[in-house]
Amino acid sequence: MSSAVIETVSITEFATTTRNWKDSEGHDHASEEPRPATGSILTVTDSDGVSGTCLFAGDYLRPNVMEEFIRPLLIGRDPIRREAIWHDLYLAQRGAYGVLHDRALSFVDQALWDYAGHRFGQPTWKLLGGYRDRVPAYASTMCGDDVPGGLGSPEDYAAFAVKLVERGFTAVKLHTWMPPVSFAPDAKLDIRACAAVREAVGPDIKLMLDSYHWYNRSDALYLAKELEKLDYLWMEEPMDEYSMSSYKWLADQTSTLIAGPESVEGKFRSRAEWAASGSVDILRVGVLSAGGITPALKVCALADAFGMDCELHGSGMASIAALGAAHNARWYETSLLHPHIDYDVPPPHLQRVPDAIDRDGFVIFPDEPGLGQAIDFEYVAANTTGVR
């Protein structure tokens, strides 16, 4: 048995491109041309030279986070004992006053799960239990905009949904219009888009809505009641999620399934309160926002104990790994899609689109060891801007 310990923890930053740009409220929109972007890879390497990596956009792991928290809590530890390492990072969060954020925990947890896959020669989704080897994907649109040929009207959403169904998707989630788009928010317009999409794709396609996140109770109830008539599968986050009682008020009055929370902090502990209080019908968790695959699976188990489904928020191979383990997580979120972006074309730092759907709308899980992120390490080496 190997007694390898973690020897080095490093960040590689590299230049790449993206087809997304963010508006003043942080929503992604489509860019006509590729834009410069920074990619990062967290690499954890053991004393035998075996590594695990986590690819992420941006520079969330600043030098102080690495020096004060991550290296001291990882170096010299057994990299297979993720639960112990994760718990120590979790305990360190209280005194870190937000500096050691949930994303940092997630990047470490993902790298350690990727490491385990390389160490044992197995895909991570199988190491996690391998409940399934493929999952249906839903097409998650970008927010509405006012761009020609984009998502500017209910008719635009309907035409785009038809294209997505033709590509193979069996489910579509609309993100409708949010500020700073000048005519947003507008709950009636949201429902016009939902109705146009239902009309265009017919009764057999599953549909979901994620609207403006700061509607009041009456607008949220209006949306839910209209979606009952349109046979939508679920609705998520129409209101600020810090008011859990607003969600209980909403869920108690509609047969539309309410899914959440997405943005609330507190990982599995806060989600336990949402499940126990009946504030949602489908529990949600993101591998990024809840601190990794390890805590996300606790949320799936928690939902299971209440007889609830648990939906994974956000795309990426860590979500795929979790979906391979949790029987009550039923859909993969392919995001974020827009008529101006061809999702089947990978960014330059990937060898392929690792989470591409087949013609039947399924993501087939990877065969290779680890998370299967499909990083093009030659591209990364040629475009590295710093290693620290």
Which residues lie near Mg ion (CB under 5 A)? 210, 262
The structure tokens listed for 79 are 């990299």
Q: How far is the CB of 50 from Mg ion (least distance, A)?
A: 36
Question: How would you classify the pairing of strands 28-46 and 51-57?
Answer: antiparallel
Q: How far is the CB of 206 from Mg ion (least distance, A)?
A: 16
Q: How far is the CB of 118 from Mg ion (least distance, A)?
A: 32
Q: How far is the CB of 27 from Mg ion (least distance, A)?
A: 11
Q: How far is the CB of 376 from Mg ion (least distance, A)?
A: 30
Residue 20 or residue 122: which is nearer to Mg ion going by CB? 20
Q: Dihedrals φ, ψ of 108, to 5°?
A: -65, -45
Would you put residue 202 in left (φ > 0), alpha (ψ -120 to 50) or beta? left
Residue 310 or residue 374: which is nearer to Mg ion going by CB? 310
Residue 190 or residue 262: which is nearer to Mg ion going by CB? 262
In terms of Cβ atoms closer than 10 Å to its own Cβ (0-12, 13-18, 19+), residue 382 is exposed
Residue 46 or residue 262: which is nearer to Mg ion going by CB? 262
> Is the distance from CB of 127 to CB of 339 less than 8 angstroms?
no
Q: Dihedrals φ, ψ of 33, to 5°?
A: -115, 150
Q: How far is the CB of 283 from Mg ion (least distance, A)?
A: 14
Residue 28 or residue 376: which is nearer to Mg ion going by CB? 28
Q: Which residues contact 295 (CB under 8 A, 6 or more apart)?
A: 86, 105, 109, 267, 268, 285
Residue nearest to Mg ion (CB): 210
Residue 102 or residue 262: which is nearer to Mg ion going by CB? 262
